[in-house]
Structure 1
Amino acid sequence: MRQEEIWDAVAAQRYDTPGTGMFAEEVLGPTVDRLVELADGGPALELAVGTGRVAVPLLQRGVPVTGIELSQPMVDQLRTKVDADALPVVLGDMATATAPGRFSLVYLVFNTISNLLTQAEQVACVRNAARHLLPGGRFVVELWVPQLRVLPPGQPGTVFTAEPGYIGLDLLDPVTQRLVSHHFRFGRGREAELFRSPHRYIWPAELDLMAQLAGLELESRHADWRGTELTAESTSHVSVYRLPAG
């Protein structure tokens, strides 16, 4: 499926879960705090801004934010929170679309760069981010660390979450670095609802090379937005790249 088909009006209406999940204060608070720090008083650009989960609270903290977003329904949901004058959005692909101006901070959160399904598209996205940066500006990526160690030999899939009413299952192809996440939600009856999203996972070292090709330098890498040390057991990372001031 194309990303435009995945992030349709139904997905946009169900995306926001105020106070829980991705919108829980313990998740969102440290994210916004760190991005305010990294913006360093300048404007920010969010690639794949979605419904404004991060952009709206960042704007409320005094950081001017512009967005790029592929899905019109997601932008429509964003517009129920803030108008276009306060948070302008360019409708287009994050790998190619251009927003007016230059920014102190460009950021991609919650694994979104993996929605681009080829290495070439991901490289183009990082280059696009670099083109939008002011000299000395930062590009920030939040991404999961591929957990192939948990994949049983000969098995293409692994369960990443199992709880009452929800099962999350990934089917992987290590050759292409592609996976499809399957999200099953169900109640007491026989019926279940399935939401699928395709991804291409990126190794941290691979992401570093993409950044290098775009003229960016790795400034820091931690396991989360709070600055926890990254270890071999970490399941995610927040990587900060910088465009040299010269």
Structure 2
Amino acid sequence: MTSSELWTRATADRYDAEESERSSAAFLGPTLTFLADLARDGRALEFAIGTGRVGVPLRESGVPVAGIELSGPMAAVLRRKIDEDKLPVTIGDMATTIVPGEFTLVYLVYNTITNLLTQDEQVECFRNAARHLTPGGRFVIELGVPPLRFLPPGQVAVPFDVSDRHLGFDTFDLVEQVLVSHHFTRDGDGGDNRYRRDSSRHRYAWPAELDLMARLEGLELERRVEDWSGEPFTENSAKHISVWRKPSP
């Protein structure tokens, strides 16, 4: 078992509703196109597949998909959407769990690699991706760029969402390279102003650090872009989509 925090049944049951915007066809279109192009005629493996926000529509688009998921409740929500024979999911962590067969694509979306709270575990995640890939296959990660330039001296918190229903901010431990995401979400409507508080820990990593992890496992950086539409990655990009390739013999 890795250091990843385990998502509970309560979190799993409300996850899709809270991520409804990111689950829309309009939002997912570029993501699915990007991943399907890399999978080509092969199989795709999603690490930390969750409730299937990406994996289910990718499978429905014609790409054979399998998944690894640490949280049983998250996988149970996915299973209500699609049968096991169409999208098999193995319960386990993404750093060490092995599933049968080889894949032309292994991918991680929505900052999920940061759920692994140590550098060693993140290196193991790259190793696990490499062992599942066919020669010429790709490993893809979607990850935010740590917003440390927004931290003036003495400040440890950076807001990332301020809206009527949600307040979100990250606090940073710059020594341990760990951030904690804090969420205050309004439950109820109208005059009911109750708020639910949640938090989760993450180990942030820079693009260059990920490139070194990839090199340790024999993977080569093929492309880095700002988003799923392929916009160029620049010094002002808030996130990146990185693609590493397993060389052919």
Q: Distance in 2 between matches of 1:12 and 1:158?
A: 26
Q: Which amino acid aligns with 2:225?
A: H
Structure 2 match to 1:183: 183
Deviation, 1:102, is 0.5
Gaps of 5+ in 2: none
Which deviates further from its counterpart, 147-156 or 10-19?
10-19
1:3 deviates by 4.1
Structure 1 match to 2:196: 193
| Contact 1:167-1:185 within 8 A present in 2 as well | yes
In the alignment, the residues of structure 2 paired with residue 27 and residue 155 of structure 1 have an alpha-carbon distance, to the nearest angstrom, of 33
Identity of aligned residues (%): 56
Give how far 1:88 is off.
Answer: 0.6
Contact residue 5 and residue 200 of structure 2 kept, 8 A: no
**2:32: which partner in 1?**
32
Residue 121 (structure 1) aligned with residue 121 (structure 2)? yes
Q: Distance in 2 between matches of 1:26 and 1:203?
A: 29
Secondary structure, aligned partner of 2:17: coil
Q: How is 1:187-226 mapped onto 2 (pairs within 5 angstroms)?
A: 188-226=191-229
The residue that corresponds to 1:17 in the other structure is 17
Q: Which residue of 2 aligns with 1:74?
A: 74
Structural mapping, 1:156-167, within 5 Å: 156-167=156-167
Bigger mean CA offset, 26-35 vs 92-101: 26-35
Query: How do 1:126-137 residues align onto structure 2 when only pairs under 5 Å count?
Result: 126-137=126-137
Q: Once the 2 structures are TM-superposed, how far is the Cα of residue 190 of structure 1 from its aligned partner?
A: 4.8
CA spacing shift, 1:10–1:3, aligned 2, 3 Å: farther
Quote how far apart the aligned CAs of 1:20 are: 3.3
Moved more, 116-125 or 26-35: 26-35
Contact 1:4 1:70 in 2 (8 A): no
Q: Is the 8 A contact 2:50 2:75 kept in 1?
A: yes
Which AA in structure 2 matches 1:159? P
CA RMSD, Structure 1 to Structure 2 (Å): 1.4
Which segment is superposed worse, 184-193 or 214-223? 184-193
Within 5 A, what are the aligned runs for 1:132-151? 132-151=132-151
Q: Which residue of 1 aligns with 2:8?
A: 8
Rounded Cα–Cα distance in structure 2 between residues aligned with 1:40 and 1:4: 33
Q: Secondary structure at the match of 2:211?
A: helix
Single out whichever of 18-27 and 82-91 deviates more from structure 2. Answer: 18-27
State the secondary structure of the residue aligned to 1:202. Answer: coil
Please report how far the alpha carbon of residue 191 of structure 1 lies from its aligned counterpart in structure 2 after TM superposition: 2.7
Shift of 1:53: 0.6
Cα distance in 2 between the residues matched to 1:19 and 1:128:
28
Given that 1:160 and 1:170 are in contact with CA atoms closer than 8 Å, whether structure 2 keeps it comes out as: yes
Aligned position for 2:60: 60
Q: Cα–Cα, structure 1 residues 14 and 89, in superposed 2: closer, same or farther, change >3 Å?
A: same
Q: Distance in 1 between matches of 2:81 and 2:20?
A: 18
Q: TM-score when scaled to structure 2?
A: 0.95
Whether the 8 Å contact between 1:19 and 1:25 is mirrored in structure 2 is no
Tell me which amino acid in the other structure corresponds to 2:103.
F
| Structure 2 Cα separation of the partners of residues 135 and 190 of structure 1 | 54
Paired residue type of 2:211: D
Q: How many residues align?
A: 244
SS state of the match for residue 22, structure 2?
helix
Change (3 A) 1:150 1:19: closer
Q: Could you tell me which residue of structure 2 aligns to residue 230 of structure 1?
A: 233
User: 1:22: how far off?
Assistant: 1.7
TM-score, normalising length: structure 1: 0.96
Q: Structure 1: which 5+ runs fail to align?
A: none
